[in-house]
């Protein structure tokens, strides 16, 4: 979940409420910058954009684009999540940096089937088509 909360995104009231039992979202942007939080508003010095994630989601990269690349008065973000945390657990062992071996036809077909099933289940293609239509 991302959004301009017009409050301190690290310790503000909404951030605290989202971290309580029953909701259990955690602020994750602080894991990707060191020292002072970056200014998220074009005219401000405060960090007011909340980036919250469920505990089961593995956020592996969080990039904040410069103001001139962003729409409106806030900076745009790019968030990278692991496939496993989005599509669900599988029976394989997680290995950092592991690539899909395309020479193993059976594994490739199995993986592709799982991805297609989850894409259909979560309606990813229609969702992306709507975003592309809005953007271009």
Give the span between the Cα atoms of 3 and 66, in whole angstroms: 17
Residues 61 and 107 in one domain: no
Range with the poorest average pLDDT among 29-38, 104-113, 120-129: 29-38
Q: Which residue has the tokens 């900076």?
A: 75
**C-alpha dihedral over 6, 64, 28, 99, to 10 degrees?**
160
pLDDT tens, residue by residue, 32-77: 777 777 766 666 667 777 788 888 888 888 888 877 777 777 778 8
Residues 1 and 47 in one domain: yes
pLDDT tens, residue by residue, 5-14: 777 777 778 8
Residues 19 and 75 in one domain: yes
**HSE on the CB side for 54, CA within 13 Å?**
7
Angle at 24 between CA 130 and CA 126, to 5 degrees: 10
Helix (H, G, I), strand (E, B) or coil at 70: coil
Provide the domain limits for residue 93.
86-136
């Amino acid at each position: 979940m991302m959004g301009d909360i017009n409050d301190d995104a690290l310790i503000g009231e909404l951030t605290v409420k989202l971290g309580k039992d029953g909701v259990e979202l955690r602020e994750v942007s602080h894991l990707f910058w060191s020292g002072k939080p970056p200014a998220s508003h074009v005219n401000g010095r405060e960090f007011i954009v909340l980036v919250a994630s469920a505990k089961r989601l593995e956020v592996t990269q969080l990039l904040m684009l410069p103001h001139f690349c962003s729409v409106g008065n806030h900076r745009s973000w790019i968030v990278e999540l692991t496939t496993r945390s989005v599509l669900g657990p599988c029976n394989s062992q997680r290995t950092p940096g592991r690539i899909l071996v395309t020479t193993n036809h059976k594994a490739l077909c199995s993986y592709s089937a799982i991805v297609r099933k989850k894409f259909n289940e979560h309606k990813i293609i229609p969702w992306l088509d709507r975003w592309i239509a809005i953007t271009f």
